[in-house]
Structure 1
Amino acid sequence: MSARVTTTAAELGSLLRSAAPPVVLDVRWALGDPHGRDHYAAGHIPGAVYVDLDTELAAPADREGGRHPLPDLADLQDAARRWGVRAGRAVVVYDDSGNTAAARAWWLLRHAGVPEVTLMDGALGAWRAAGLPLESGAPADPPAGDVVLRPGGLPVTDADGAAELAASGLLLDARAAERYRGEVEPVDPRAGHIPGAVSAPTGENLAADGTFLPPDVLRKRFEGKGASEAGRIGVYCGSGVTAAHQIAALALAGYEAVLFPGSWSAWSADPARPAATGPLPS
């Protein structure tokens, strides 16, 4: 994956004043917080379009696809055009939680063939820290876009593929360590992790200010998980959202990774799939 992954707040501020400003998407979402649109209305980057993760970046939940299945490509294209995404126009996405939700939009658009999509590094906190302006309320709908989406820009796998990666490659579990160990499970049918998966919590990709750690630090982090020896790398989380953030961090470190979109929510819903607990992969 060679395309640029991040844009700084200062760079975005300059781009928004240019003759060809990017489309800016606000993906305010957090597990257990249904008020993303309200947070957006209270203050967002001027001109940013609100994106609803549950309804626009995911299909309805089901057992095989988990809590956030990938949306149908036609539905995603309709949504992207509503957001104003056009052929040849850059897209910048952000949230207010270290981009752990916004990375879902980044991954989906890259997967669907949009070449220039970046995460605003540091998310909304970096914009505030730079003293850049916010606007409140809901702006008018942007002019409709014309983007044509095509799948396959980033790789995906299913539960069987994830099991194979855990056995013969490297499968990273991006959830919090206590969920990996099976000590708590707030939302999914069973506790634990996919046997053979290695714990790599998404939050450990970030510095204290919410920006990504430097690429060399991320590279050492993933080398410590076995990335340099693995022929193939896969990532899963609870429902395929924060795993996209891990894929962005891996890209910054120089690694390409496969997403298991159903993640633990789909795996744990299948009683035929085994679950491991404790701090070790198996």
Structure 2
Amino acid sequence: MTDTRSSVLITVDELAGMLRADATPAPVLLDVRWTLTQPDGREDFASGHIPGARYVALDTELSDHSSDDPTRGRHPLPSADRFEATVRSWGVRAGTPVVVYDDVAGQGAARAWWMLRWAGHSDVRVLDGGWSAWRAADLPEETGLPQEADPAAASDSAGTSGAGGLFVIRPGSMPSLTADEAEALAGSGSGVLLDARAPERFEGRTEPLDPQAGHIPGALNAPAGGNTADGRFRSPAELAEYYRAVGGPSVAGTPDVTNPDGPAPPTIGAYCGSGVSASHTVLALASIGVEAALFPGSWSAWSNDTARPVATGTADDETVHPPQK
């Protein structure tokens, strides 16, 4: 894994400098404001956003609800062809730098970051601190409704000076897990599957959204809220300490000094409720040089499949309940 903090995160000062310098190609700015309780962020976008930003609707542009199969999860990935057309409509070309942001500690932005990276676009970073940090720095902003997607941008005839060729999707450029692979990883003994949800949902004490409460047997709880402080990602040292406490030295990107000749670092996977918070975990780990695979369907897919077991309790004292069928 070669990602470091500067390759996945950008500060408001760095972004402001890029915009002032009229860099070529100019970065495409994507505003991905979204929460579970307010999934449509257009109104907030209209009240203020970074100049030139384009609003991205997580529920429709970063998800595909064309099927009513609940085992795909609450935010299933769109098809490769559909997402390729969506990315092109944003004005993203092969050589275009992309900066994504939101107003909730990077959750929605991380989903867009992961999907662009999964699609093969490597030059994409998340604005650390997001919209709140931009406003706190008293930087320029504009108001108004989102730009409409540009269908012509999907054509190579559109052209953008200095921005490279037409974006062509390469699905699978970031590792991902199916439900079977997530189950195997959690039970392998040599891999680590991280659950990015809050402890009460992981332990099965409550479940406000999905049909069953609990977690994938063998998973470890690492709430995504631990990735940030005051809306910004924690320092590399703090993130390493956080993940070391959850899953051991290798999860934190450091070798096991007690066994330097031991096996290779474990495969690491992450899931949450529907593939949003876990994208934040994958991003946080990437910022300290650790690669993790995302289970996009996450708990919403798993808990809708009655053929799968469910665990409750803490990781150290879990009770595994057999499948319902």
TM range, smaller chain: over 0.9
Name whichever of 10-19 and 224-233 sits farther off: 224-233
Structure 2 equivalent of residue 213 of structure 1: 234
Question: Counterpart in 1 of 2:102?
Answer: 95
Query: 2:182 is paired with a residue of what secondary structure?
Result: helix
1:71 matched to 2:103? The reply is: no
TM-score (norm 1): 0.95
Following superposition of structure 1 onto structure 2, how do residues 82-231 of structure 1 map, counting pairs within 5 Å? Answer: 82-138=89-145, 140-141=147-148, 144=153, 146-168=166-188, 169-208=191-230, 210-229=231-250, 231=266
Q: Which has the larger radius of gyration?
A: 2
* Alignment match, 1:38: 43
C-alpha offsets along residues 193-233 of structure 1, whole Å, 9 cap, x if unaligned?
Answer: 1111111000110012x110011211121111125345110
What is residue 6 of structure 1 aligned with on the other side? Answer: 9
Distance 1:95 1:75 in 2: 23
CA-CA distance at 1:19 after TM superposition: 3.1
Contact 2:105 2:228 in 1 (8 A): yes
Q: Is the 8 A contact 1:267 1:273 kept in 2?
A: yes
Q: Is contact 1:181–1:192 with CA below 8 Å preserved after alignment?
A: yes
* Cα contact 1:170–1:227 (8 A) shared by 2: no
The answer to which of 142-151 and 183-192 deviates more is 142-151
Residue in structure 2 matching 1:19, options 13, 17, 23: 23
Deviation at 1:243, TM superposition (A): 0.5
Q: 1:2: Cα distance to partner?
A: 2.2
SS at match of 2:132: helix
Who is 2:293 aligned against?
258
User: Which residue in 2 is equivalent to 1:242?
Assistant: 277
Unaligned 5+ runs, structure 1: none
1:217–1:82 Cα change, 3 Å:
same
2:247 and 2:293 map into 1 onto residues whose CA distance is 15
Task: Please give the alpha-carbon distance, in whole angstroms, between the structure 2 residues aligned to 1:207 and 1:156.
Answer: 27
1:279 Cα deviation after fit: 2.1
Is residue 80 from structure 1 mapped to residue 87 from structure 2 by the alignment?
A: yes
Q: Residue 37 of structure 1 contacts residue 50 of structure 1 at CA under 8 Å; is this kept in 2?
A: yes
In structure 2, distance between residues paired with 1:235 and 1:139? 32
Deviation at 1:147, TM superposition (A): 1.3
Amino acid at match of 1:63: P
Partner SS state of residue 64, structure 1: helix
Aligned match of 1:273: 308
CA distance in 1, matches of 2:307, 2:101: 38
Shift in Å, 1:149: 1.1
Aligned 8 A contact 2:205 2:213 in 1:
yes
